[in-house]
A and B are shown apart, each in its own frame.
Chain A
């Protein structure tokens, strides 16, 4: 078990600064997920923790030890690669025990360890097969077993499920969560799939262009995003946003300048009665997607195209609808994309009676 600290880490490839200045603490025993769009530096961060890539500047601490100059094998870190990186000429057993052999673990101990691990991940019948005789899911398990058998302080997994089909991915996801519970080891997990991140992590680190946008629990990220990027990245469909210029009929009092407004598709109501206090937008339904329990509508309005998601409600058949977003579910963002929270008061614009007495 181990806490990982990244202090003022930067990484350059030649003249390309991929990570400008990164500070992150990964709690002991946590399941931390790094998530972000492709190319944002997740793998690079992970590989620096494992020691496969040297940071250009800054310190990496694992527990109470600065590991800047510790070679990968001595960091007590095990990694599961995206393409598994199994040794193709070795059997499953050979793959699992290679690390143990290099540590000089005695043969009898090795055998017990390999037997135990292969029971856990369900590989016992395949120990004498070569990786290329296995299915994708089985290879994934070999990669896991190879990492587990070393009893590392930290598990690092770089998009380990991206090569699996949807069903297997779901199954392996559950297995990984259970595995983390059982081992209690620190897991650092990379994915660019925010659904995977939300369902697995207890701490999620949202990255963009080498910069951490927000590091929080899944619920906090969803309900309380710190900026526009996180707000739009987390959730399916993504949060609807519109420029404040296009907003009609909303009266907002704020301390700062509000550049844009957002709301979650699942918090908007279709054709709600007047008793709901909220911002109302009129629009036209462009498409309807029904997934059984939930429906997703694409609605065109004067302020752009929005998504609205409803649960267990009958499918709306009318073309024109009224979308109501309760005021408390509106999110406001400043010109730099930062979230504005304090001192915002919203209400419907009062129509000034012109020419009255």
Chain B
């Protein structure tokens, strides 16, 4: 009886722990293990090389390019998504049918699969027959190369990511805005606060936990961008859109340099890990005001 009572909680959580260990914990450790070997996925023997993979990675020109691409992509995507979403949320915060419709419309990309989105945008961005070039042609501008030119490809991918993410972000912001009680605005108006002052001195600080949450979530997501790149650009042209996860995929499953890919995976793990720790640290100390 008492033994059963003691064991029962462990029994209850065991399935979850098992699944979690099998599919999350074990692969992480296996990846760290693999990152110290030279292995081509099929050969029965793995050659231990220590930290050689990391040394190679960090000295390789391509890998630095990949890190730069990923960083630029992340910074642009995060600032644009969060910023646009905040503006949209401020506008959509008044509730009427029209605003409800717009909100639904901008949210819908969030629930469409990334593969469909990628195909759709490849088509829209086609330099010859794409809708986008047709539209900017109407306004009188020359054609853009979009995904086909190194100077515009990465930014084009950012556009797609922003388009997909902005609705969800706006929704979270709207929830944040609606948690601000109406009498705060009223008190501010009695205090002769101008709209801009109300926004910068009251609303933004009260939204800071939301902003922070979204920035971190978006950063983690952007660092792991893969599907759009795999479908739309395959990292090209001339590596201009090669990012960390796509690089890992290419090395692992196209060039079968498993150890090398694992080493890049460990680096990604470290970056995302740091972001997560920063998030929880700051969340518990500074930004939260309640």
Contact = CB atoms under 8 A, between A and B. Distances in A.
A72 B186 contact: yes
A89 B289 contact: yes
B289 A71 contact: no
B288 to A, nearest CB: 11
A79 B205 CA distance: 23
11 contacts: A73-B191, A78-B190, A86-B187, A87-B188, A89-B202, A89-B206, A89-B208, A90-B205, A98-B191, A102-B192, A130-B289
Contact of A102 (B191, B205, B208): B191
A88 interface: yes
Contact of A103 (B192, B202, B208): B192
Contact of A99 (B181, B186, B192): B192
A159 to B, nearest CB: 12
Interface of A: 50-52, 71-74, 77-79, 81, 83, 85-90, 98-99, 102-103, 130, 132, 146, 150
A87 B190 contact: no
User: Closest 5 A-B residue pairs measured CB to CB?
Assistant: A73-B192, A89-B205, A99-B191, A85-B183, A102-B192
B189 A52 contact: yes
Interface of B: 181, 183-184, 186-194, 197, 201-202, 205-206, 208, 289-290
Given A98-B201, A102-B197, A87 B187 contact: yes
A79 B190 contact: yes
Contacts of A77: 190
Contacts of B192: 73-74, 99, 102-103
Contacts of B290: 88, 132
Contacts of A85: 181, 183-184, 186-187
B196 to A, nearest CB: 11
A87 B180 CA distance: 10
Contacts of B181: 83, 85
B216 to A, nearest CB: 20
Contacts of A99: 190-192
A198 to B, nearest CB: 27
Given A130-B289, A132-B289, A102 B193 contact: yes
B30 to A, nearest CB: 46
Given A85-B181, A89-B289, A132-B290, A79 B187 contact: yes
B187 A81 contact: yes
Task: Please indicate which of the listed interface residues A72, A74, A77, A103 has the most CB atoms of chain B within 10 Å of its own CB.
Answer: A72
A52 B193 contact: no
Contacts of B184: 85, 87
A98 B208 CA distance: 20
Given A87-B187, A87-B202, A103-B192, 4 more contacts: A71-B189, A79-B187, A79-B190, A87-B201
B37 to A, nearest CB: 52
Contacts of B190: 50, 52, 72-73, 77-79, 99
